[in-house]
Amino acid sequence: MKILFYFGHPAQYLFLREAIKRLMLKGFQVKILIKTKDVLENLLIEDGFEYTNILPEERGRSKLAIAYSLQKRNLALLPILLSFKPNLIIGTDASIAQMGKLLGIKRITITEDDYSVIKTLGDLAYPFTQTILCPEVCSVGKWNEKKIGYAGYMKLGYLHPNVFRPDNKIVEEYKLKKDYVIIRLARLTAHHDFGIKGISYDFLEKLISVFERKSLQVLISSEASLDDKYKKYLLKINPNDIHQILAHASILICDSQSMSVEASMLGVPSLRFSSFAGRISVLEELEHQYGLTYGINPVHPECLISKLEELLAIDNLREEFQERKANMLKDKIDVSAFLVWFIENYPQSVKTMKENPDYQYSFK
* CATH number of domain containing 321: 3.40.50.2000
Q: Which SS3 state, helix, strand or coil, does residue 6 take?
A: strand
Q: Are 325 and 336 part of one and the same domain?
A: no
**Which residues lie below 8 Å from residue 56, measured CB to CB, with a gap of 6+?**
36
What is the rounded (10 degree) CA torsion for 103, 34, 75, 192? 100
CA distance from start to end of the chain: 26
Q: What is the pTM of this model?
A: 0.91
Cα–Cα dist 268/320, whole Å: 10
Q: Are 268 and 139 part of one and the same domain?
A: no
Q: Are 187 and 89 part of one and the same domain?
A: no
Q: How many domains does the chain have?
A: 2
What pLDDT does 60 receive?
Answer: 58
Q: Are 229 and 145 part of one and the same domain?
A: no
**Quick check: 139 pLDDT over 70?**
yes
Cα–Cα dist 351/86, whole Å: 21
Q: Are 139 and 225 part of one and the same domain?
A: no
Q: Are 134 and 206 part of one and the same domain?
A: no
Q: Are 150 and 108 part of one and the same domain?
A: yes
**Quick check: 22 pLDDT over 80?**
yes
Cα–Cα dist 83/253, whole Å: 45
Q: Which SS3 state, helix, strand or coil, does residue 196 take?
A: coil
**Quick check: 302 pLDDT over 60?**
yes
DSSP 234: B
Q: 94: pLDDT confidence band, cut at 50, 70 and 90?
A: very high
Q: Are 183 and 213 part of one and the same domain?
A: yes
Angle, helices 335-344 vs 348-355, to 10°: value is: 120
Q: Are 8 and 130 part of one and the same domain?
A: yes
Q: Are 313 and 195 part of one and the same domain?
A: yes
Q: Are 321 and 339 part of one and the same domain?
A: no
Q: Are 238 and 303 part of one and the same domain?
A: yes
Do the strands 106-110 and 88-91 form a parallel or antiparallel pair, or are they unpaired?
A: parallel
What pLDDT does 66 receive?
Answer: 72
Cα–Cα dist 262/158, whole Å: 9
* Stretch 7-21: mean pLDDT: 96
**Quick check: 74 pLDDT over 70?**
yes
User: Which residue range forms the structural domain that includes residue 357?
Assistant: 2-160+332-363
Instruction: Please give the full DSSP string across 69-114, using - where no structure is assigned.
Output: HHHHHHHHHHHHHHHH--SEEEESSHHHHHHHHHHT-EEEEE--S-
Q: 102: pLDDT confidence band, cut at 50, 70 and 90?
A: very high
